[in-house]
Amino acid sequence: MSVLRTRFAPSPTGLLHVGNAFSAIICQQWAEQQQAELYLRIEDIDHTRCKPHFSDQLLEDLQWLGLQWHGEVQYQSMRSALYDAALQQLYENKLIYPCFCTRKSILQDIERIGLAPHADEHNTPYPGTCRELAPDYARVRMQQQSFAWRLHIHHASMQVDAALSWLDEHGMATPVNLHQMQDIVIGRKDIAYSYHLAVVVDDADQGITHVIRGEDLRSSTPVHRLLQALLQLPSPIYIHHKLLHDPSGQRLAKRNQSTTLQSLRQSGIEPEYLRQHLREQARQSHALWHGDFGT
């Protein structure tokens, strides 16, 4: 029988909080139940936000929590050769193009052509300004100006099966709606590779069979499935667990300092107590899959 593998993949952009611990506990419990291997990957590709002292603290906090992972910890910041090769493959297949737009110029273009601006600033529609620049002109500008690599969704949709979908733990297929996708950024000058590119390369390289992560990342899964198809990588099964909320119904987030593992440790909470509490939360909210999340 082949080995099942999952991973916990935090980003060291701040101190680990209870919401992260919840995710880690869910990954660990799933791995125990399935006799699967659990890997730990530090997603520190964004050097503008990730800090080494947060990585060190994160390891300490996870050890305190009792997370047991398989093999060496993997750091994305040490794996750029793999991401470079993937970027090169997309470039050679005409699936990415350089984009010289700034946030400001995109907003101006949107206003000029009368596109409705998006309420979510991270989801601003891209008006396609640099999509069809003449290759020679683009090459000259690349020498002079900073740029981002964008995925050419139209070219991409011609290279993949129109019925592309991703699978969940029940074997249910969710279609990837290519018509709703933007020309997303895959690399930038300051952060050479996007989270989307790095994560699909790493999941394939580590032989991850099941990706277990929070509901908040569900909207990234179609993008990941598309990149897997374009890079001819295997696609794992995706399990999106519910997120932990505080008693007032607010989602626990990094900005809420009172729920960091560090502050819980300092207040004298025992890791066993926290583990049990999080398992109970997961069971009560059916965080993972209906009814069968035993303690």
Task: State the nearest-atom distance from the C-beta of 185 to ligand GLU, in Å.
Answer: 17
Q: How many CB atoms lie within 10 A of CB 170?
A: 10
Task: State the nearest-atom distance from the C-beta of 62 to ligand GLU, in Å.
Answer: 13
* Choice from 213, 225, 241, 279 touching ligand GLU (CB under 6 A): 213
Using the rule CB under 6 A, is 36 a contact of ligand GLU? Answer: no
Using the rule CB under 6 A, is 241 a contact of ligand GLU? Answer: no
Using the rule CB under 6 A, is 236 a contact of ligand GLU? Answer: no
* Choice from 217, 229, 237, 253 touching ligand GLU (CB under 6 A): 217
Residues in binding contact with ligand GLU, number by CB under 6 A: 7
Task: State the nearest-atom distance from the C-beta of 219 to ligand GLU, in Å.
Answer: 12
Residue-level length of the chain: 295
Using the rule CB under 6 A, is 11 a contact of ligand GLU? Answer: yes
How far CA 31 is from CA of 26, 110, 115, in Å, comes to: 8, 46, 46
Q: Which is nearer to ligand GLU, 11 or 55 (CB)?
A: 11
* Separation of alpha carbons 58 and 290, rounded Å: 30
Output the CA angle 202-208-213, nearest 5 degrees: 85
Q: Which is nearer to ligand GLU, 43 or 147 (CB)?
A: 43
How far CA 283 is from CA of 26, 211, 272, 276, in Å, comes to: 10, 19, 16, 10
Q: Which is nearer to ligand GLU, 10 or 187 (CB)?
A: 10
* Separation of alpha carbons 143 and 189, rounded Å: 12
In 3D, which of 67, 84, 73, 55 has the Cα closest to residue 30? 67
Using the rule CB under 6 A, is 61 a contact of ligand GLU? Answer: no
The span of 5-13, 59-67, 84-92, 175-183 binding ligand GLU (CB under 6 A) equals: 5-13
Using the rule CB under 6 A, is 210 a contact of ligand GLU? Answer: no
Task: State the nearest-atom distance from the C-beta of 160 to ligand GLU, in Å.
Answer: 21
The phi and psi torsions of 20 (rounded to 5 degrees) equal -65, -40
Using the rule CB under 6 A, is 27 a contact of ligand GLU? Answer: no
Give CA 17 to chain center in angstroms. Answer: 18
- How buried is 39 (Cβ within 10 angstroms: 0-12 exposed, 13-18 middle, 19+ buried)? buried
* Choice from 9, 176, 231, 239 touching ligand GLU (CB under 6 A): 9
Q: Which is nearer to ligand GLU, 133 or 217 (CB)?
A: 217
How far CA 111 is from CA of 93, 100, 103, 119, 124, in Å, comes to: 32, 18, 12, 14, 12
CA dihedral 9, 66, 35, 211 (to 10 degrees): -20
Contact 156, 95 (CB under 8 A): yes
Q: Which is nearer to ligand GLU, 7 or 275 (CB)?
A: 7
The span of 7-15, 51-59, 157-165, 244-252 binding ligand GLU (CB under 6 A) equals: 7-15
* Choice from 16, 25, 43, 194 touching ligand GLU (CB under 6 A): 43
Amino acid symbol at 82: L
The span of 4-12, 58-66, 120-128, 275-283 binding ligand GLU (CB under 6 A) equals: 4-12
User: Given the rule CB under 6 A, which residues bind ligand GLU?
Assistant: 9-11, 43, 199, 213, 217
